[in-house]
Amino acid sequence: MATSTGRAPQKTAKTATPAMRQFHEIKAQAEDAILFFRMGDFYEMFYDDALKASRALELTLTSRQKDPSGAAIPMCGIPYHAADTYVGRLIRRGFKVAICDQVEDAKEAKGVVRREIVRIVTPSTYLHQGYLEAKEPSYLMAVSSTKSAAGAALVDLSTGDFVAFEFEGDDRWQKIAETLSTYRPREILYPEGKSLPDDIFAQWGPEGDAPITTERDNWRFEHEASRSLLLRQFATQSLEGFGLESKPLAVGAAGAALQYLQETQRGELTHISGIRCLEEADYLILDPVTQRNLELTHSLSEGGRSGSLIDVLDHTTTSMGARTLKSWLTRPLVDIEAIGRRLDAVEELAFDVIQRAKIRDTLKDVLDLERLLARVTLGSAGPRDFVGLQTSLSKMPALRGLTAEANAVLLRELNEALDPVEEVRDDIERTLVSEPPIGLKDGGAIREHVSEELDELRRLRSEGKSTLTEIEKRERARTGITSLKIRFNKVFGYYLEVTKSKLDAVPDDYIRKQTLVGAERYITPELKEYEEKILGAEDRIQVIERELFEALNQRVRSHAPRIRATARAVAVLDVLAGLAEVATTANLTKPRLHNGFEIDVKDGRHPVIEATSQEPFVPNDIALDENRYVVILTGPNMGGKSTYLRQTALIVLMAQMGSFVPAAEAKLPIVDRIFTRVGASDNLFRGRSTFMVEMQETAHILHHATPKSLILLDEIGRGTATYDGLSLAWSVVEHIATEAKLKSKTIFATHYHELTDLAAELPGVVNFHVSAREWQDEIVFLRKVLEGGSDRSYGIQVARLAGLPPSLIRRAQEILLNLEKTEFDLEGRPRVTGESSLGSGARQMSLFADAEDRVVSELRRVEPETMTPLEALQLLTELKEQLDAME
């Protein structure tokens, strides 16, 4: 017997059954998707699709029939009503699903029933509530490029948010990578043959699945066609208003994205009513590595939201607000006026406790208007979605009232923008009952007095039902069978049921239909007459309810842009109220921003560590200006260096997103970019050499930083041998401090104490250290950042704290002593920085230091809490062996 390969054999399709012929035709329209082919109450999958789906969904693979060549056709199926769950599971595994339904009544079909693809579901376009995360957007991205420029567009079908970019120059792909990591799309479209550079996902990070990529025909990215498509979608004459007329690649990408949505959704997309062209210069740029290092939306250690800045800042009450907060956080502003407007609004809401409480309380009753609207325009909204829309819109007058007296400009603007869209609200209220069933099919969603015909049919139906009750009573009396019942099922319709013991009393005019173990079922002509009336009315009621519902949907849809504007206003109000809430509860201050250089923070704190640590947080100042802008920060391991770096970045970032900041006072400059680099092994997951990564990242900083940037370097240079690392670290600091187009505010945390000598040599460089005290061979962290360099790194004391065996600690102390004897000259200056630094002594030492370095850096890297005792023992033996080999 021939076995099928699983691929649909095209040439034999002609001789296949009519249904299979239809399958092949439709399958050809969705080659890259798994086709859900509706057959009665099931969605069936055939050939390759069946093989893939049965594996992914753990379904039983069967074969339905033989194809004309005699091979069995692999097949599997799922019940249609469970489709959403299965679709969700396939999407999560990176598949696309084409849903093919029967689009005519099987009873009326001549020949094979007509079927069509009604929707293609992909990771970025699956809007099922169980799949979408309320607080996360769901973007589709399209990328288009030439030899010298690249354009990108991102659209969130679930909210209608649509943005575009165009980048020129050598670092265009870096900028696309940055965009990618800010928006984290679920799916990316690119033109045929122009696949994305391999390393574009290098900075994606371990959290969350990488997006699926889909190749599309080149013409779909073509500028003119895309432009006309966008003009039609937005019903405008030009793209000037969106700032896109001079950006052909951005337009091409936007057109390709929109076209993909139209193709997959096969419905109207009225909620996508505009696009924003984002200019890089409008935002504080945070490259992907910085976003991750600062733990803005994910914590590095746990990978989840908990432990991230957003987790601490998010006091929003709506999902729209939560999503907007996230976009503010990942794209802080640089326009001092715009930031000021946000800060003034937060200040007013922070001050007015009662007003804020009322606003937040009212917001709790506002549902996700953006996503409700998306479901309405895509035709997947049920009656309850409409009622949700109505009750949410009906909160707008209250929110308007609560913001009516506001002084802050932004709050006054929002007050204007909180449009209750009364027409929609009233229309829904007039049309639907206040607590409708989930599905329209369940009936009863439409109110009384909406349609006379509907009311009449419902009356008939209920009369019919009460007549049945009458009949039941009458028959009981007539036959004397008190247990006689009229019941209904789908097979027989209405019937009379009599228990076995009463069969003698059954009259002759009952017609027997079915015998059960304990009872008999009968019908009568009279019963069937009423049944026809009732069921006839029932059918007609369903038709009318659907028509009325569709009409309502159309009317609501026509107001989509207004509803969307209201949703945006609600989201912003929610973010502001949430930021005001956290400003009060976390004791934050309003920052003072200026366009100059100087940064002056009194008693700054790390918002996340403060909120999560058991230890009381020790606040620290930071003051940088034109005369001192590069800080060399030394101090013991675990002393608080990284924390100090990060808190400085977070304070700057929070201020520019419009939030109050964790400090007693904060005078802050507008920063154009924040760079943070951590020289450690946390990049290892990408499988590149740590040192190489460190150097690439450092190069990136040196090429992009300006005097308006903030650079935070955390132990850069430790991925290589001591002297290499030190020399590089030294020259990096020199470069930043002296190069006129850099001179950026910089904090460099380092374990190279030699670097503290730089302060004496270079203007602009100062030494800070995190204080610690040694007490009976133990280390006490004071966590106060003070001027001057620190003398020791206390590495061994920290190792003791970490629980290394006493014998090893003693040995390390011995080695340290040896090292210190050779490494420092008679004045105690590290030899490396002195004139004789690379003399023979130092050279000989380098090998020795290398081995020890490896041990120390290995120790730095280990996380004892994640190791098994066996692993720990193995490591220890290894380390000991390395040290022993030195002797």
Q: Taking the complex as a whole, how short is the minimal distance between the CB of residue 145 and ligand ADP, in angstroms?
A: 40
* Residue 838 interacting entry, from Mg ion, ligand ADP, none, C-beta within 5 to 8 Å by type: none
| Site membership for ligand ADP, residue 755 (CB under 6 A) | no
| Site membership for ligand ADP, residue 641 (CB under 6 A) | yes
Q: Taking the complex as a whole, how short is the minimal distance between the CB of residue 285 and ligand ADP, in angstroms?
A: 25
User: For residues 871-882, b (16+ Cβ closer than 10 Å) or e, as one string?
Assistant: eeeeeeeebeee
| Site membership for ligand ADP, residue 618 (CB under 6 A) | yes
* Residue 617 interacting entry, from Mg ion, ligand ADP, none, C-beta within 5 to 8 Å by type: ligand ADP
| Site membership for ligand ADP, residue 842 (CB under 6 A) | no
What is the footprint of Mg ion within residues 686-745 (CB under 5 A)? Answer: none
Helix (H, G, I), strand (E, B) or coil at 444: coil
Q: Taking the complex as a whole, how short is the minimal distance between the CB of residue 663 and ligand ADP, in angstroms?
A: 13
Tokens of 406: 């506001």
Kind and range of the H or E run holding 468:
helix 452-479
Query: Within a 13 Å sphere around the CA of 716, how many CA atoms are in the beta-carbon half?
Result: 28
Give which of 382, 406, 271, 388 is closest to 318, Cα–Cα: 388
* Residue 332 interacting entry, from Mg ion, ligand ADP, none, C-beta within 5 to 8 Å by type: none
| Site membership for ligand ADP, residue 801 (CB under 6 A) | no
| Site membership for Mg ion, residue 642 (CB under 5 A) | yes
- Residue 374 or 622: the one with the smaller Cβ distance to ligand ADP is 622
What is the footprint of Mg ion within residues 582-641 (CB under 5 A)? Answer: 641
Q: Which of 640, 658, 717, 789 binds ligand ADP (CB under 6 A)?
A: 640
Q: Taking the complex as a whole, how short is the minimal distance between the CB of residue 830 and Mg ion, in angstroms?
A: 21
What is the footprint of ligand ADP within residues 475-534 (CB under 6 A)? Answer: none
* Residue 183 interacting entry, from ligand ADP, Mg ion, none, C-beta within 5 to 8 Å by type: none
- Residue 159 or 293: the one with the smaller Cβ distance to ligand ADP is 293
| Site membership for ligand ADP, residue 613 (CB under 6 A) | yes
| Site membership for ligand ADP, residue 751 (CB under 6 A) | no
Count Cβ atoms below 10 Å from residue 497 Cβ, excluding itself. 18
Q: Interacting stretch for ligand ADP, rule CB under 6 A, among 65-73, 613-621, 727-735, 835-843?
A: 613-621
| Site membership for ligand ADP, residue 662 (CB under 6 A) | no
Q: Taking the complex as a whole, how short is the minimal distance between the CB of residue 635 and ligand ADP, in angstroms?
A: 6
Q: Which of 23, 37, 204, 617 binds ligand ADP (CB under 6 A)?
A: 617
| Site membership for Mg ion, residue 683 (CB under 5 A) | no
User: What DSSP line would sit under 329-363, residue for residue?
Assistant: HHS-B--HHHHHHHHHHHHHHHH-HHHHHHHHHHH
Amino acid found at 155: V
User: For residues 234-247, b (16+ Cβ closer than 10 Å) or e, as one string?
Assistant: beeeebeebebeeb
- Residue 274 or 303: the one with the smaller Cβ distance to ligand ADP is 303
513 close to 487: Cβ distance less than 8 angstroms:
no
Helix (H, G, I), strand (E, B) or coil at 569: helix
- Residue 260 or 617: the one with the smaller Cβ distance to ligand ADP is 617
Q: Which of 158, 174, 566, 642 binds ligand ADP (CB under 6 A)?
A: 642
Walk across the sheet containing 493-499 and list its strands. Answer: 485-489, 493-499, 519-523, 511-515
Tokens of 485: 């019942």
Q: Interacting stretch for ligand ADP, rule CB under 6 A, among 438-446, 632-640, 737-745, 802-810?
A: 632-640
How far from 632 is each of 386, 645, 753, 824, CA to CA, in Å? 60, 11, 9, 20
| Site membership for ligand ADP, residue 674 (CB under 6 A) | no
Q: Interacting stretch for ligand ADP, rule CB under 6 A, among 174-182, 406-414, 639-647, 872-880?
A: 639-647
Q: Which residues, other chains included, contact 731 with Cβ-Cβ below 8 Å and sequence gap of 6+?
A: none
- Residue 423 or 682: the one with the smaller Cβ distance to Mg ion is 682
| Site membership for ligand ADP, residue 783 (CB under 6 A) | yes
| Site membership for ligand ADP, residue 638 (CB under 6 A) | yes
SS3 content of the chain, % helix, strand, coil (to 5): 50, 20, 30
Site map for ligand ADP, 552-591, x if CB under 6 A?
----------------------------------------
**Paired residues of 216 in beta bridges:** 191
Sign of CA dihedral 697, 700, 705, 709: negative
Nearest residue by C-beta to ligand ADP? 640
* Residue 201 interacting entry, from ligand ADP, Mg ion, none, C-beta within 5 to 8 Å by type: none
Q: Taking the complex as a whole, how short is the minimal distance between the CB of residue 811 and Mg ion, in angstroms?
A: 25
Q: Which of 153, 498, 601, 609 binds ligand ADP (CB under 6 A)?
A: 609
Q: Interacting stretch for ligand ADP, rule CB under 6 A, among 244-252, 305-313, 551-559, 637-645?
A: 637-645
Tokens of 381: 């909204």
Alpha helices in 266-395 (DSSP H): 288-293, 309-313, 319-330, 336-351, 353-363, 369-377, 383-393
Q: Which of 383, 639, 719, 795 binds ligand ADP (CB under 6 A)?
A: 639
- Residue 642 or 756: the one with the smaller Cβ distance to Mg ion is 642
| Site membership for ligand ADP, residue 615 (CB under 6 A) | yes
- Residue 485 or 784: the one with the smaller Cβ distance to ligand ADP is 784
Computed over its alpha carbons, how large is the radius of gyration of the chain?
Answer: 35
Long-range contacts of 491-494 (CB under 8 A, 24+ apart): 492/521, 492/523, 493/523, 493/528, 493/531, 493/535, 494/468, 494/523, 494/527, 494/528, 494/530, 494/531, 494/534
Helix (H, G, I), strand (E, B) or coil at 226: helix
Q: Which of 297, 431, 637, 746 binds ligand ADP (CB under 6 A)?
A: 637
Q: Interacting stretch for Mg ion, rule CB under 5 A, among 276-284, 642-650, 739-747, 807-815?
A: 642-650
Q: Taking the complex as a whole, how short is the minimal distance between the CB of residue 812 and ligand ADP, in angstroms?
A: 18
Long-range contacts of 322-328 (CB under 8 A, 24+ apart): 322/134, 322/135, 323/135, 323/136, 323/137, 323/159, 323/571, 324/571, 324/572, 324/574, 324/575, 325/575, 325/578, 325/579, 326/135, 326/136, 326/137, 326/297, 327/137, 328/575, 328/657, 328/658
Walk across the sheet containing 620-624 and list its strands. Answer: 592-594, 665-669, 599-604, 620-624
Give which of 229, 256, 232 is closest to 144, Cα–Cα: 256
CA angle in degrees (0–180, nearest 5) for 406-409-410: 90
CA distance 848 to 841: 11
Q: Interacting stretch for ligand ADP, rule CB under 6 A, among 97-105, 547-555, 595-603, 615-623?
A: 615-623
Strands 592-594 and 665-669: what pairing? parallel
- Residue 115 or 641: the one with the smaller Cβ distance to ligand ADP is 641
* Residue 615 interacting entry, from Mg ion, ligand ADP, none, C-beta within 5 to 8 Å by type: ligand ADP
Q: Which residues bind Mg ion (CB under 5 A)?
A: 641-642
What does the binding site for ligand ADP look like in residue numbers (CB under 6 A)? 609, 613, 615, 617-618, 620, 635, 637-643, 770, 783
